[in-house]
Structures are given as structure tokens and as C-alpha cells.
A and B are shown apart, each in its own frame.
Chain A
């Protein structure tokens, strides 16, 4: 009699474990590392110009009273090319967009802009990914909404798809555009 009770408990424990595995396995894979800097000011930085025709980018440029989209990209990044039309559309709707080019070369950037267009008013050059460590960005492309005081309000991970545009415009508006 006692043996039966014990084996029942073992069975219940096993079923619970199976249930737990089933639950966890049925959840969609989540492998994005989100920034924990939302609500914090952008740390101080100053980056030189990535292309001669546009100025570089510093934290002071982001805290100039106007909210911005900050695009972290690179000419060698394929999804960055894929999101170019969406960035152009955002610019067309009045979004001020600044950018940092990660580990990039001026020539490659010129080619990239010629091919996919340049929606940026400033492009900083970062050869050691440091801006990404400062704001909690874990890859390219990523787009941050920064309010006029230089506080990070929102992070968009991965390329911007057409359906993401309204959300980004809303976030920008909430940041005080």
C-alpha cells in the first residue's frame, strides 16, 4: 500500500516536470538582449564624423531640446540596408534621425548611402563599438528614441519593418516631438 503511494508521488512529480518542459518549450525563442538603460540619460560621448559631408555625433547633440531617433548601423550589415526605405519614410514624416556607424570605413559608407540613401543629419564614427556598450545596444541595426533632454525612451532591436513605423513615430511624439 505504501509503495503505491510513493510511486504515485513520483508520477505526479514527473508529470509536473513534463508540464514545465512543455510550457517552456512552447514559448517563442527570446534571444534579444534588451537595454536596461531605458529612462536613463545617454552617457557622455563624442564621436568624429564618419563621412566628410556630415558632422559627427556627441551626447550634447542628443540633448539639444529636440527628440531624435538614434540609429546604430553599419554598411556591412545586411538588415541595415533592408531598413533603409523605412528610415527614409520616418524622415519623410518629420523624424530627426542621427546615426552612429559601427566599425565602418568612409568609402564603404559613401557607397552604402549612394545605394540606399542617407536619412541622417549626423553620422558618428565608432570603431570599437563603444557607443553600444554605453547605451546597452547588442547589435546592428538598433534604433533608439532619445528625448530632448538626452534621455533614452525606447529601443527598437533589429531592422525597422514597415509595420514598425507608426510605433516609432508615436514613441517620438511621446518623447516630445
Chain B
């Protein structure tokens, strides 16, 4: 029986050590004002969790994501605008923290290529139509 307990304990060991402090006050608690909470929620869904990098901080249970939610809810409750908070975070972590696409010197082809392809398609179709007439 004992070996089984040891085995189960070994299996239960978490891949990442985590802290034992309770989550920050507003990590899992919504703001009382539903309008402000909606604002905070919309922002949190577009910010990357730094611990689990494919998740948003709204989706992640990492303690750092909880702390970031706490920070954001407090600031929104204090009247700060979501875009201002996003810029504040981008100033610290770079564009990577935000899921909201921005046109920059590195990302402009993503916006230009689809337009160029549509234009090319239109040209091809027009030329074919013209030939048919």
C-alpha cells in the first residue's frame, strides 16, 4: 500500500512549483459595477499571460496572471482607460504582451499582403472577362 501512496505522490508532483499565498483580492473577484467589469474583461482577454504564453490572463490560473487581473481591475475601478493600461504594459514588456494586432514596421506586410492578393485577383478576373467579350 505504501508504494502506491509514494507512486501517487510522485505523479501528483506539479511540473511547476507554485506559491502558497492566496490569490490577490481581484484575481478571481469581479468588479461590482458590471460596466467596469466588462471593460476590464475585454482588456484581460487581449493580454498575454507571461507564464502560460498562449493563454490570455483572463484564461490563465498562473498566479502572475491573477496578480495582473488584480492590477487591471483596480486600475479600471479607479477610472483608468483600458488602452492606457495596455500601453503601460507594452512599455514594459513590448508588443508581445498584447494580442491586439498593431500595424508596425514588422507587421505591415500582414495587412498589405491580403489587400495586394485581392487586388491581384480582381485584375485576373477583369482580364479574363475582358477577353471573353
- Chain A residues with CB under 8 Å of chain B are 31, 33-37, 74, 76-78, 102-105, 108, 127-130, 132-136, 138-139
Contact = CB atoms under 8 A, between A and B. Distances in A.
A103 B62 CA distance: 12
A133 B92 contact: yes
A105 B21 contact: yes
Contact of A129 (B17, B63, B89, B96): B63
A102 B71 CA distance: 15
6 contacts: A35-B92, A102-B19, A133-B67, A133-B68, A133-B92, A139-B51
B20 interface: yes
Contacts, number: 63
Contacts of A127: 21, 24
B40 to A, nearest CB: 15
Chain B, interface SS category:
helix
Contacts of B19: 74, 76, 102-104
Contacts of B76: none
Contacts of B20: 76, 105, 108
Contacts of A128: 24, 67, 70-71
A136 B17 contact: no
Contact of A138 (B17, B50, B63, B90): B50
A34 B94 contact: yes
B67 A36 contact: no
A37 B94 CA distance: 9
